[in-house]
Structures are given as C-alpha cells and as structure tokens.
Structure 1
Amino acid sequence: MSKPSSPARGRPARLDRARTVQTALDLLDESGLDALTMRRLADAMGVQAGALYRYFATKQNLLTAMAEQMVGGVAGASGPAGDGDWSEEVAYLTRALRTALLAHRDGARVYAGTHATGPNTLGFADSLVGVLRAAGFGDDAAARALYSLVNFTVGHTLEEQAALQPGDREPADAGALHEAVAAGKYPHLAATLPVLTSTDFAAHFEFGLRLLLDGLHAVRR
C-alpha cells in the first residue's frame, strides 16, 4: 500500500485579487508609491510577476483597485444625530474621505489617478449627492458640488502628504520659503508666513471646506 503523497515543496503561493490588493497597500505604506512596482509586489507574494496580470492587466488597474479598497467604509460615514443640517453631513462625509486617504502613505496620489467604479467609491458619491439632493439642490448643482468637494479634498491631501513625508516635522520647502520671502520685498507674505508654513493641515482643510460649504449655501436653490 503506497503512502499518501506529501505536499510538493516549493509550491507557488496562493494568489487571489483581495490578497494582491492588500499586499500592494502594505507595500505602499512601507515604501511609498514610487517604490511600488509589479515586480516588487510579485516578490512580496512569492509569485512570478506575470501571475499578477491574471487579475490586473496594468499597474493602473491595480492602483484603481487599491483606491477602491482605501475608501471602504467612507460611504457609511454618518455624523452624530442632530438637527439634520445638510452642510454638517456633507462636511462629515468629506472629512471621512480625507481620513481614508491619509490612512495610507501616498493615499491621495493613488486615488487621484484612478476612476474606480466599485461599491465603495460609488457608494460614497451616492451618499454625498443624496444629502445634497435631499437638501434641495438640483441635480446639476449636486453633481458639481460632488466634484468640487472631492477635488478639493484630494488636492489638499496631495499637498499635505507631499509636505510631510515620513519622519519630517515641517513642510519640506518651509526653509526655502522663509529665505525667499526674506530676500525680497514681500511684506504681505512675510506677515502671513506663520500660517503659510504651518503644519496644522487640519486647520487648513477646515478653512477651505468651510469656504466651499458657504458657497454651497449661496447657490442652494
């Protein structure tokens, strides 16, 4: 009677879409977007680089899947029960998007270059547009407000993550800005340098978000 065969040594690691995306996000957090290559991802998963193309025909397809996973849970973000102020609900959802992007190194860079159509991305967009439509905004205004809020959030977070790379304590160009302003005649910039070089990005974000919300109040029909 023959012995049961033992598992073959050197058997390729199990590969699936979910594990691939999660490993890519782990590598992103570890080394940043510039260091994330299909070859490095394949090495981390113990497979040949060509095996990844079974699920992702291009790196852009992979980044789109990563962006979709990053915003998981954002669609369900909901502020505390209160007076039902639509602008506070919009603000809560917008802050949730920023938080999701900040949760991953270079998260905004990944998200900015993708156009995911998965349930996480579409669910967030539908929730935000739904709040606006329920508040009385027309369809066109609600759609444009979505673009404005998302573009502001992604753009702000891009700058935030670029300024504060891991280990930095101040914006990378703060010293250069100080020197340039001091060397020239820029009295207005000199007066506002404490804010211009501040790393309180939450305050910067809230100021811009408030401007957008005030503008939406003005155009609400």
Structure 2
Amino acid sequence: MASEAQRVPGSPAWWASRTPAPAYRRGRPPMDVGRIVDTALKLIDEVGIQALTLRMLADALDSGTATLYRHFDGKDELLALVADRILGEVRVPPEELDGLSWREAVTVAAEAFYGTLCRHPHALSLLAAQVPVGPNGLRARERLITLFLSHGFPVGLAARAFTALGHYVIGFAIQQHGPGTPRPEEQSQLRDYYNALDPDSYPSTTAAADELTSVPLHEEFRFGLDLLLDGLEKVRRNSSQEPEEVRGHARGH
C-alpha cells in the first residue's frame, strides 16, 4: 500500500520520497525546476490544465520532452508542483499583521489567498484535488495555525479553524472563478430567469432575484468570511472560558 501511495503525485508519501534531480546526468544539462514549473503555470493560465501537454511546455522552454522527463515521471507530477507553486505565491509580510487582532490578521491572510487563486482560475482544481502538503503548503499551514495559537486558540480549534478557512476560500474561488462559472454579463440573464419564474411556485426566489444576482463577488466573499469568523470567535470564547469554569467547579468541591 505504501508503494502505491508513493506513486500518487502530490500525496504525503510522494512529497516525502521526492528528492532533487542529480546535478549531472548524460545528455543535456538539467533545467531549473522552478523555471519549468513557472512556465507550466503560465501556460495553464493561458490554455487550461487539459490543454497543457509536456510537448507544449517543452516548446515554450525551447527544450525537449526528454529533458522534462528527467525531472518528472509525467504530467501529474508537474501539476503537483504547480499547485504548490501557487501556494508559494501567497504573500503576507509579517509586518502587515503586527498589532492586528486575530480576526483582522486572518482576514488579511484569507484575502491574500483568495486574491492569488483569482489570478489562476484555470488551475483552481489542483488545489481541490489533494491536501496541499508540499513545501509551500506546509509553510502556509504552519503560519496560519501559529497565528491562531498565538491568539489563544486551543490546538484542536486552531487546526479546525485552519481547515474550515482553507475549504471556504478554495471552495468559493472554484465556484465563482473556476472554468465554466457565469460571467458578469450572464448574471443579468440569471436575474431575468429568476424573475420569469412562476411566483406562486417560487415566491422566495422571485422576491430575492435582484439580491441573488447583484452582490459583487468580493462583497459576497467577505460576507461568508465574516460569518465564518463570527462562529470561530464564539467557539474561541467558549473554549477560553471552559478551563476557568472547570477550576471553579473543582474549588467548590
């Protein structure tokens, strides 16, 4: 089973077993992996994941597919590195978080993550395919969980908060910006469709037709994010009060 898991690009076993390419092999000199991955992401942004081929990538690099196969066993391995490359693009300088409440700091981090995903709509499915455990994914996870812990979140709640936040941001980006999602001009068609429904059968939908199709995406994103943070704040307060209640109960006995 372990050997099978290692063959799945992007899995924990694959990342754990991955080693840098040797500095020298026969044939052409090795190519910088970072350059290969950056070029692959650029092509995905232009043509999409399905259209990308190793031949296309090799041509863009002015190289041959044999050179690429010296670094990757196939396209799936390349895509796993592209996914991690996207996570490495999220930048939140520590000084931007200085003096902020946990909620403000998490909002800055979530907005930065969302903004990065919006720049790569054709690659969004890569972030949903597997748990991101590459180098950049691990660093992002460590930073955000540390942020929660530094603001008094218990370890269990910090872990759940991180997971919920990641699911929300990635899910929202995929639904609203992924391939095939309605464009702004199509929203008016959707509004007309809702308005044309039988109001006796769909009274609530027809009443909310304008609101369902007119809220800017960024406002919708922040609304959902604020609801999530409201819930986390409530749970955080309850968890911080519990030890004191337990101690008081113990003293009473």
- Judged with a 3 Å threshold, the aligned counterparts in structure 2 of structure 1 residues 218 and 211 are, in CA distance, closer, same or farther, namely same
**Is the counterpart of residue 147 in structure 1 residue 163 in structure 2?**
yes
**1:63 is matched by which residue type in structure 2?**
L
**Is the counterpart of residue 170 in structure 1 residue 203 in structure 2?**
no
The percent of aligned pairs where both chains have the same amino acid is: 33
- Judged with a 3 Å threshold, the aligned counterparts in structure 2 of structure 1 residues 115 and 130 are, in CA distance, closer, same or farther, namely same
**Is the counterpart of residue 94 in structure 1 residue 145 in structure 2?**
no
Pick aligned residue for 1:103 from 119, 135, 138: 119
Aligned length: 209
Task: Please state how far the C-alpha of 1:180 moved relative to its aligned partner.
Answer: 5.6
TM-score, with structure 1 as normaliser: 0.81
Question: Which shifted more, 67-76 or 16-25?
Answer: 67-76
Q: Is the 8 A contact 1:86 1:132 kept in 2?
A: yes
Q: Is the 8 A contact 1:74 1:97 kept in 2?
A: yes
- Rounded to whole Å, the distance in 1 between the matches of 2:28 and 2:71 is 16
Pick aligned residue for 1:121 from 137, 150, 153: 137
Question: What's the Cα RMSD here?
Answer: 2.8
**Is the counterpart of residue 182 in structure 1 residue 196 in structure 2?**
yes
- Rounded to whole Å, the distance in 2 between the matches of 1:84 and 1:176 is 40
- Partner residue, 2:22: none
Q: Map of 1:19-38 to 2, 5 A cutoff?
A: 19-38=35-54
Task: Please state how far the C-alpha of 1:196 moved relative to its aligned partner.
Answer: 2.0
- Rounded to whole Å, the distance in 2 between the matches of 1:191 and 1:82 is 44
**1:208 is matched by which residue type in structure 2?**
G
Unmatched 5+ stretches in structure 2: 1-26, 240-253
**1:64 is matched by which residue type in structure 2?**
A
- Rounded to whole Å, the distance in 2 between the matches of 1:158 and 1:65 is 19
- Rounded to whole Å, the distance in 2 between the matches of 1:147 and 1:35 is 31
- Partner residue, 1:210: 226
Pick aligned residue for 1:134 from 134, 150, 155: 150
TM-score, with structure 2 as normaliser: 0.71
| 2:72 match: secondary structure | coil
- Rounded to whole Å, the distance in 2 between the matches of 1:13 and 1:28 is 25
**2:189 is matched by which residue type in structure 1?**
G
Question: Which shifted more, 188-197 or 203-212?
Answer: 188-197
- Rounded to whole Å, the distance in 1 between the matches of 2:47 and 2:184 is 18
- Rounded to whole Å, the distance in 2 between the matches of 1:179 and 1:56 is 48
